[in-house]
Amino acid sequence: MLLASPSAKLRTCPSTKLRTGLAVPGPVVNFRVFSVAAAFAGVVLGLSAQAAEDCPRADLLEPAAQTISDSRPTLVWQPLPGVSRYRLRLQSRVPEGEIKAAIDTLVDGTQFTPPRPLADHRAVVKLLVTVACDAPPSLDTGRRIFIDTGLSCRMAPLELDEGTGLWSWPQVSGAVGYDVYRYAMPDGRLLSREETPRPTSFSIDSAVVVAVRARCANGYSDWKLAP
Protein backbone atom coordinates (compact mmCIF):
# COMPACT_ATOMS: atom_id res chain seq x y z
CA MET A 1 0.00 0.00 0.00
CA LEU A 2 1.33 3.43 -0.98
CA LEU A 3 0.92 6.02 1.80
CA ALA A 4 1.30 9.77 1.69
CA SER A 5 4.12 11.05 3.89
CA PRO A 6 3.33 13.65 6.56
CA SER A 7 5.26 16.22 4.59
CA ALA A 8 3.25 15.68 1.41
CA LYS A 9 1.51 18.92 0.46
CA LEU A 10 -1.02 19.97 -2.12
CA ARG A 11 0.56 22.00 -4.86
CA THR A 12 -1.66 24.74 -6.20
CA CYS A 13 -1.14 26.65 -9.38
CA PRO A 14 -2.62 30.14 -9.54
CA SER A 15 -4.81 29.53 -12.58
CA THR A 16 -5.71 27.19 -15.39
CA LYS A 17 -6.33 28.86 -18.75
CA LEU A 18 -9.30 27.75 -20.82
CA ARG A 19 -9.60 28.12 -24.57
CA THR A 20 -11.79 31.13 -24.02
CA GLY A 21 -8.88 32.90 -22.37
CA LEU A 22 -10.61 33.07 -18.97
CA ALA A 23 -8.50 32.21 -15.91
CA VAL A 24 -10.08 29.76 -13.46
CA PRO A 25 -8.31 29.01 -10.14
CA GLY A 26 -7.83 25.33 -9.43
CA PRO A 27 -5.57 23.05 -7.35
CA VAL A 28 -3.21 20.42 -8.70
CA VAL A 29 -3.43 17.49 -6.26
CA ASN A 30 -0.48 15.24 -5.50
CA PHE A 31 -1.12 11.79 -6.99
CA ARG A 32 -0.10 10.11 -3.75
CA VAL A 33 -3.34 11.31 -2.12
CA PHE A 34 -5.36 9.48 -4.77
CA SER A 35 -3.22 6.38 -4.22
CA VAL A 36 -4.20 6.30 -0.54
CA ALA A 37 -7.89 6.79 -1.39
CA ALA A 38 -7.81 4.02 -3.98
CA ALA A 39 -6.07 1.67 -1.57
CA PHE A 40 -8.65 2.43 1.13
CA ALA A 41 -11.52 1.78 -1.30
CA GLY A 42 -9.94 -1.54 -2.18
CA VAL A 43 -9.82 -2.50 1.49
CA VAL A 44 -13.51 -1.60 1.96
CA LEU A 45 -14.54 -3.63 -1.07
CA GLY A 46 -12.46 -6.54 0.15
CA LEU A 47 -14.08 -6.44 3.59
CA SER A 48 -17.57 -6.27 2.02
CA ALA A 49 -16.85 -9.29 -0.14
CA GLN A 50 -15.42 -11.15 2.85
CA ALA A 51 -18.51 -10.34 4.95
CA ALA A 52 -20.81 -11.66 2.22
CA GLU A 53 -18.73 -14.84 1.96
CA ASP A 54 -18.54 -15.47 5.72
CA CYS A 55 -22.17 -14.50 6.43
CA PRO A 56 -24.50 -15.88 3.72
CA ARG A 57 -27.99 -14.49 3.60
CA ALA A 58 -31.35 -16.26 3.37
CA ASP A 59 -33.90 -15.23 0.74
CA LEU A 60 -37.19 -13.88 2.08
CA LEU A 61 -40.23 -15.92 0.99
CA GLU A 62 -43.03 -14.12 2.84
CA PRO A 63 -44.30 -11.54 2.46
CA ALA A 64 -43.84 -11.95 -1.28
CA ALA A 65 -45.48 -8.61 -2.18
CA GLN A 66 -43.49 -5.39 -2.06
CA THR A 67 -46.40 -3.47 -0.48
CA ILE A 68 -48.43 -4.99 2.37
CA SER A 69 -51.14 -3.78 4.75
CA ASP A 70 -50.25 -5.94 7.78
CA SER A 71 -48.21 -3.97 10.31
CA ARG A 72 -47.07 -7.19 12.04
CA PRO A 73 -46.30 -9.47 9.13
CA THR A 74 -44.97 -12.98 9.70
CA LEU A 75 -41.58 -13.13 7.98
CA VAL A 76 -40.63 -16.44 6.37
CA TRP A 77 -37.32 -17.15 4.68
CA GLN A 78 -35.65 -19.87 2.66
CA PRO A 79 -33.71 -22.30 4.89
CA LEU A 80 -29.97 -22.58 4.31
CA PRO A 81 -28.37 -26.04 4.23
CA GLY A 82 -27.10 -27.10 7.66
CA VAL A 83 -28.29 -23.87 9.36
CA SER A 84 -30.78 -23.90 12.25
CA ARG A 85 -30.19 -20.45 13.79
CA TYR A 86 -30.39 -17.17 11.91
CA ARG A 87 -29.70 -13.53 12.63
CA LEU A 88 -32.58 -11.25 11.67
CA ARG A 89 -32.16 -7.50 11.45
CA LEU A 90 -34.80 -5.01 10.42
CA GLN A 91 -35.49 -1.31 10.63
CA SER A 92 -38.87 0.34 10.13
CA ARG A 93 -38.89 4.04 9.26
CA VAL A 94 -41.97 6.24 8.82
CA PRO A 95 -42.18 8.70 5.87
CA GLU A 96 -41.29 11.60 8.20
CA GLY A 97 -37.94 9.95 8.89
CA GLU A 98 -38.46 8.64 12.44
CA ILE A 99 -37.40 5.06 13.16
CA LYS A 100 -40.50 3.20 14.32
CA ALA A 101 -38.81 -0.12 15.14
CA ALA A 102 -35.33 -1.65 15.07
CA ILE A 103 -34.78 -5.37 15.67
CA ASP A 104 -31.57 -7.38 15.78
CA THR A 105 -32.20 -10.86 17.10
CA LEU A 106 -31.32 -14.54 16.73
CA VAL A 107 -34.10 -16.83 15.52
CA ASP A 108 -34.28 -20.62 15.74
CA GLY A 109 -36.15 -21.67 12.64
CA THR A 110 -37.19 -19.88 9.46
CA GLN A 111 -39.95 -17.51 10.52
CA PHE A 112 -40.45 -14.54 12.82
CA THR A 113 -43.35 -12.27 13.77
CA PRO A 114 -42.46 -8.83 15.19
CA PRO A 115 -43.64 -8.42 18.80
CA ARG A 116 -44.98 -4.94 18.06
CA PRO A 117 -46.41 -3.23 14.93
CA LEU A 118 -43.78 -1.95 12.52
CA ALA A 119 -46.02 0.94 11.42
CA ASP A 120 -48.96 3.01 12.63
CA HIS A 121 -50.01 3.88 9.09
CA ARG A 122 -47.13 3.80 6.59
CA ALA A 123 -43.49 2.77 6.84
CA VAL A 124 -40.54 1.46 4.85
CA VAL A 125 -38.99 -1.68 6.33
CA LYS A 126 -35.41 -2.76 5.57
CA LEU A 127 -34.87 -6.43 6.34
CA LEU A 128 -31.93 -8.82 6.19
CA VAL A 129 -31.70 -12.46 7.34
CA THR A 130 -28.30 -14.17 7.54
CA VAL A 131 -26.64 -16.98 9.41
CA ALA A 132 -25.80 -16.17 13.03
CA CYS A 133 -22.59 -14.26 12.34
CA ASP A 134 -20.89 -11.29 14.03
CA ALA A 135 -20.32 -9.16 10.91
CA PRO A 136 -23.33 -9.42 8.57
CA PRO A 137 -23.63 -7.39 5.34
CA SER A 138 -25.08 -3.88 5.47
CA LEU A 139 -28.81 -3.67 6.12
CA ASP A 140 -29.05 -1.43 3.04
CA THR A 141 -28.31 -4.49 0.89
CA GLY A 142 -31.35 -6.38 2.21
CA ARG A 143 -34.99 -6.54 1.19
CA ARG A 144 -37.32 -3.51 1.35
CA ILE A 145 -41.01 -3.80 2.19
CA PHE A 146 -43.54 -0.98 2.14
CA ILE A 147 -46.32 -1.06 4.74
CA ASP A 148 -49.56 0.84 4.16
CA THR A 149 -52.23 -0.12 6.68
CA GLY A 150 -54.84 1.67 4.59
CA LEU A 151 -54.55 -1.12 2.00
CA SER A 152 -57.12 -3.45 3.54
CA CYS A 153 -57.82 -5.07 0.16
CA ARG A 154 -56.06 -5.30 -3.19
CA MET A 155 -57.13 -4.41 -6.70
CA ALA A 156 -56.13 -6.42 -9.75
CA PRO A 157 -55.01 -4.38 -12.79
CA LEU A 158 -57.73 -2.98 -15.04
CA GLU A 159 -58.25 -5.09 -18.15
CA LEU A 160 -58.95 -3.97 -21.71
CA ASP A 161 -61.19 -6.10 -23.94
CA GLU A 162 -59.62 -5.68 -27.37
CA GLY A 163 -62.85 -6.78 -29.06
CA THR A 164 -65.20 -4.26 -27.46
CA GLY A 165 -62.67 -1.59 -26.45
CA LEU A 166 -64.09 -1.59 -22.91
CA TRP A 167 -62.08 -1.50 -19.67
CA SER A 168 -63.17 -3.48 -16.60
CA TRP A 169 -61.84 -5.08 -13.40
CA PRO A 170 -62.56 -8.30 -11.48
CA GLN A 171 -64.43 -8.47 -8.21
CA VAL A 172 -62.23 -7.74 -5.18
CA SER A 173 -62.69 -10.02 -2.19
CA GLY A 174 -64.08 -8.06 0.75
CA ALA A 175 -64.94 -4.96 -1.29
CA VAL A 176 -68.16 -3.12 -0.45
CA GLY A 177 -67.91 -0.76 -3.43
CA TYR A 178 -65.59 1.01 -5.86
CA ASP A 179 -64.54 4.61 -6.49
CA VAL A 180 -64.10 5.60 -10.14
CA TYR A 181 -62.30 8.88 -10.90
CA ARG A 182 -61.82 10.44 -14.33
CA TYR A 183 -59.02 12.96 -14.96
CA ALA A 184 -58.12 15.15 -17.92
CA MET A 185 -54.90 13.89 -19.49
CA PRO A 186 -53.16 17.25 -20.15
CA ASP A 187 -53.44 18.85 -16.70
CA GLY A 188 -54.72 16.14 -14.30
CA ARG A 189 -57.97 18.03 -13.66
CA LEU A 190 -60.69 15.93 -12.00
CA LEU A 191 -63.56 15.50 -14.46
CA SER A 192 -65.87 13.23 -12.49
CA ARG A 193 -66.14 10.95 -9.49
CA GLU A 194 -68.62 8.15 -9.04
CA GLU A 195 -69.24 5.17 -6.78
CA THR A 196 -70.43 1.77 -7.87
CA PRO A 197 -71.32 -1.25 -5.70
CA ARG A 198 -69.86 -3.75 -8.17
CA PRO A 199 -67.32 -3.94 -10.99
CA THR A 200 -68.41 -2.30 -14.21
CA SER A 201 -67.01 -1.60 -17.66
CA PHE A 202 -66.26 1.70 -19.35
CA SER A 203 -64.69 3.21 -22.44
CA ILE A 204 -62.26 6.13 -22.48
CA ASP A 205 -60.73 8.39 -25.09
CA SER A 206 -57.11 9.44 -25.44
CA ALA A 207 -57.63 12.62 -23.39
CA VAL A 208 -58.85 10.89 -20.23
CA VAL A 209 -57.27 8.78 -17.48
CA VAL A 210 -59.50 6.64 -15.26
CA ALA A 211 -58.47 5.61 -11.72
CA VAL A 212 -60.32 2.90 -9.80
CA ARG A 213 -59.95 1.71 -6.20
CA ALA A 214 -61.94 -0.72 -4.05
CA ARG A 215 -63.64 0.36 -0.83
CA CYS A 216 -63.32 -2.30 1.86
CA ALA A 217 -64.60 -2.65 5.40
CA ASN A 218 -61.45 -1.19 6.99
CA GLY A 219 -60.02 1.04 4.26
CA TYR A 220 -59.19 1.16 0.57
CA SER A 221 -57.17 -0.73 -1.99
CA ASP A 222 -54.39 0.74 -4.09
CA TRP A 223 -55.35 2.69 -7.23
CA LYS A 224 -55.37 1.09 -10.66
CA LEU A 225 -55.21 3.25 -13.78
CA ALA A 226 -56.37 3.03 -17.37
CA PRO A 227 -54.85 3.38 -19.84
Q: For the segment 204-218, what is each residue's pLDDT rounded down to a tens digit?
A: 988 899 999 898 876
Contact (CB, 8 A) for 162 and 148? no
Which CATH entry fits the domain spanning 159-226: 2.60.40, 1.20.120, 3.30.70, 2.60.120?
Answer: 2.60.40
pLDDT below 50 — which residues of the chain?
Answer: 1-51
The pLDDT score that the predictor gives to residue 36 is 39
Contacts of 92 (CB under 8 A, 6+ apart): 99, 100, 101, 102, 118, 119, 123, 124, 125, 147
pLDDT of residue 11: 41
Task: Give pLDDT, residue 220.
Answer: 78
pLDDT score recorded for residue 55:
93
Residues of the chain with CATH 2.60.40: 60-148, 159-226
Task: Report whether CATH 2.60.40 matches the domain 60-148.
Answer: yes
Q: Which amino acid is at 87?
A: R
Q: Tell me what pLDDT residue 10 has.
A: 38
- The Cα–Cα gap between 75 and 6 comes to 52
Instruction: Look at residue 216 in the predicted model and tell me its pLDDT.
Output: 84
